[in-house]
Structure 1
């Protein structure tokens, strides 16, 4: 096997020959007569391109690869000593190709592509698509899997020593993106993108290549609302990761697509001011930290939005949050001004949820409120609902009177709760007086 530490010779690296050597090889092999062809819709036309066989070491990986968009930024976060332009600098560099190879291998294992091709009976079917310089426009994961296999056992996987490729003519970045988008939309055995990788890919195309949201919607056959929701999900996920000291660690949220989708949808329906929405977001983040507290997050997030008033009351009582506390950061962010008392309290509670010491207890309270609301929905369909609720309240107060009257007990807010209990009891007594049989 060729020594991979010799990247300067034409065929001295597993991760691509030099550019002049690649182009010379394409020209030489393209002159052969009777080459088979492969049909590709490219540059607005359906064309038949010749298929040539090249050594597997020849092609280079394409750095602007949607599936690795999240993994690339996470790689840089995990490897601070690597150069910052590893994936956006010169794609010919061997260290960039080596790093991209490792990320593609990781993706291949997640989709079990490595296991599929580990069976020698499973050989190449469709050619890889390369641009004129030999970078893989389509088939990067397959290329990495084949290289890994033949490197591990040259005798067993010798059928991957040469591979079929199609070399596309000169094209603009936009034309390459159009081809990629079309191939990604096709329904076949290709693995679907993780939501965060798709979102990061869209962001890269906008920031680095000047695509507009309208361009992306046209390319990927998306509705504008769906694209905006995806970008909003990414923004919340990015904020969540940064707030937890996990910047760019996208693997932490890859499995939480529905959670962030519900967060975006639910927050958009919330009434009230900035403080209320900030409180909801921080409460949602608290649940994402420990999903076991509430079960399925994609159902707990909408429940949190519906029960936010009760969550607010419980948190305010627990943490003695005054109604006239202002959040200077929020005031500065949204232009100053005096917020109403409710908004001040919600902003203050959001700050409580950002405090590491307060967070565990706050999460317990949120989970308790959500569980209580779930039980209430079940119970309120019963004819004995009123009696059951009174019995539960009586039991809770009995326990409080028996075990809670201790010198060290927290007394702040207790008087307010008792006054509210008295008011509720008065309403129930009035109902009984009106409807009870003589």
Structure 2
């Protein structure tokens, strides 16, 4: 990384962009502003003139990580749009993103290695990049390398939004251009959910969000619920708020939590959360098995909790000893259940850091035992399922349109079915007789 940011003062950027807009006759149709086609001016400006937009959904979690690693102020990025150090840091984040791609999407930096800018970046009247932040970072790096192949990047083409474009409209443009799933390199699930959360807090309605993101409202709400569980996990369980890197690979687990925990309250919610959090803690060591354990915090959570309590020697039928507020590691919303069983004693054990490893190992053993039992049950039902499926297929047979030439073959198949049925009935009769003999008194 060789490019060094120089932030041109805002008033100079505005003056230069305004002058270029007045001088140009080039226009390009833009479809994502104010729900109508706008003919926006296209200008050519020095590559150092635009500045990166800090409220960039794609870099949100990476900004938080940068702040932690470099011990910066929490507002280092959010208040640093005109700050050279913050712009340099944002450049580094974007440059890394520009080198990412998928099997079907070539990295932006690779595309630009041809030395041509294929489409203008979108900027505000003050030079803030709304769409094309990664492209700008890639062009800057290529230009700074000094290869004459990239001499064209001394200046770049920009399409300019009207000075009247509001912050809300700019956010809406970003969503429409960047977050529609079929058009761009996908946001991480956390950045996508954080963007939805930010949009709602900024006054966007659910209809506006679903329209711009082309998502169903149920999907949007499920993403917010998944993010909520992830934030509880980071803040209250791990004590590492906003360290979203820890949950980037937990999309499936937190998505399943959003689905399976939505109707749970009180102790049932809290015990299910803790089971899920322990699985997330150990997702790396569990590998592909981690997904197979997600049943443990859904409908099977009561069975898992009871088995876990038994293995840990925790009595769920006795009122738990009183605990002080300082012993509570995770905020718990538990109804008063002094009568009958309560998960509170088990919750206290799961919250005990000194017993976390023990609880984890016992939880894994419980989950594996339940999975093995369910697999045995499925195998035990396999014969019945096969017979039911065969019977269903036979009931669906309709001879009304059958080709007469197939009658002979059909008859032969039916004879074979009869023979097979007789053999199976004889076999099950023998098995029944054997079962009666083995259970008879005195045997």
Instruction: Give the TM-score taking structure 2 as reference length.
Output: 0.75
1:63 offset after TM fit, Å?
Answer: 1.2
RMSD of the alignment, in Å? 3.1
Task: Measure, in 2, the Cα distance between the counterparts of 1:214 and 1:230.
Answer: 15
Deviations 1:166-187 (A, max 9, x none): 1110211222222222213556
Which range is displaced more, 306-315 or 371-380? Answer: 306-315
Task: Measure, in 1, the Cα distance between the counterparts of 2:193 and 2:3.
Answer: 38
Q: Note closer, same or farther for the CA distance 1:332–1:269 as it changes in structure 2 (3 Å cut).
A: closer
Q: Note closer, same or farther for the CA distance 1:332–1:286 as it changes in structure 2 (3 Å cut).
A: closer
Task: Measure, in 2, the Cα distance between the counterparts of 1:336 and 1:41.
Answer: 49
1:114 offset after TM fit, Å?
Answer: 5.5
| Structure 2: unaligned runs, 5 residues or longer | 383-434
Q: Which residue of 1 aligns with 2:210?
A: 217
Q: Note closer, same or farther for the CA distance 1:333–1:296 as it changes in structure 2 (3 Å cut).
A: closer
Q: Note closer, same or farther for the CA distance 1:65–1:382 as it changes in structure 2 (3 Å cut).
A: closer
Which range is displaced more, 91-100 or 303-312? Answer: 303-312
Give the alignment partner of residue 178 of structure 1, picking from 172, 176, 188.
Answer: 172
Task: Measure, in 2, the Cα distance between the counterparts of 1:42 and 1:384.
Answer: 59
Q: Note closer, same or farther for the CA distance 1:150–1:347 as it changes in structure 2 (3 Å cut).
A: farther
Q: Which residue of 2 aligns with 1:26?
A: 17
Give the alignment partner of residue 37 of structure 1, picking from 28, 40, 60.
Answer: 28
Give the alignment partner of residue 63 of structure 1, picking from 43, 54, 60.
Answer: 54
1:50 is paired with a residue whose SS is: strand
Instruction: Give the TM-score taking structure 1 as reference length.
Output: 0.76
Task: Measure, in 2, the Cα distance between the counterparts of 1:306 and 1:215.
Answer: 34
Q: Which residue of 1 aligns with 2:312?
A: 319
| Structure 1: unaligned runs, 5 residues or longer | 5-13, 386-431
1:125 is paired with a residue whose SS is: coil
Q: Note closer, same or farther for the CA distance 1:75–1:265 as it changes in structure 2 (3 Å cut).
A: same
Which range is displaced more, 233-242 or 33-42? Answer: 33-42
Give the alignment partner of residue 297 of structure 1, picking from 290, 300, 322.
Answer: 290
Task: Measure, in 2, the Cα distance between the counterparts of 1:324 and 1:16.
Answer: 64
Q: Which residue of 1 aligns with 2:340?
A: 341
Task: Measure, in 2, the Cα distance between the counterparts of 1:154 and 1:340.
Answer: 78
Q: Is the 8 A contact 1:327 1:348 kept in 2?
A: no
Task: Measure, in 1, the Cα distance between the counterparts of 2:208 and 2:309.
Answer: 47
Q: Which residue of 2 aligns with 1:278?
A: 270
Count of residue correspondences: 375
Q: Which residue of 2 aligns with 1:365?
A: 362
1:436 offset after TM fit, Å?
Answer: 3.6
Q: Is the 8 A contact 1:117 1:145 kept in 2?
A: no
Q: Which residue of 2 aligns with 1:7?
A: none
Q: How does 1:158-307 map to 2 (within 5 A)?
A: 158-170=151-163, 171-186=165-180, 189-207=183-201, 209-242=202-235, 243-268=237-262, 270=264, 274-291=266-283, 292-293=285-286, 295-307=288-300
Q: Note closer, same or farther for the CA distance 1:437–1:384 as it changes in structure 2 (3 Å cut).
A: farther
Q: Note closer, same or farther for the CA distance 1:131–1:218 as it changes in structure 2 (3 Å cut).
A: same
2:96 is paired with a residue whose SS is: helix
Deviations 1:405-432 (A, max 9, x none): xxxxxxxxxxxxxxxxxxxxxxxxxxx8
Q: Note closer, same or farther for the CA distance 1:38–1:124 as it changes in structure 2 (3 Å cut).
A: farther
Matched, 1:356 2:364: no
Q: Is the 8 A contact 1:56 1:162 kept in 2?
A: yes
1:122 offset after TM fit, Å?
Answer: 5.6
Matched, 1:123 2:116: yes
1:61 offset after TM fit, Å?
Answer: 0.7
Q: How does 1:336-415 map to 2 (within 5 A)?
A: 337-343=336-342, 346-382=343-379
Deviations 1:52-78 (A, max 9, x none): 111111101111111112222222222
Matched, 1:17 2:5: no
Matched, 1:308 2:295: no
Q: Is the 8 A contact 2:179 2:186 kept in 1?
A: no
Q: Which residue of 2 aligns with 1:8?
A: none
Deviations 1:242-265 (A, max 9, x none): 222332221221121111101221
Q: Is the 8 A contact 1:287 1:294 kept in 2?
A: no
Q: Which residue of 2 aligns with 1:107?
A: 97
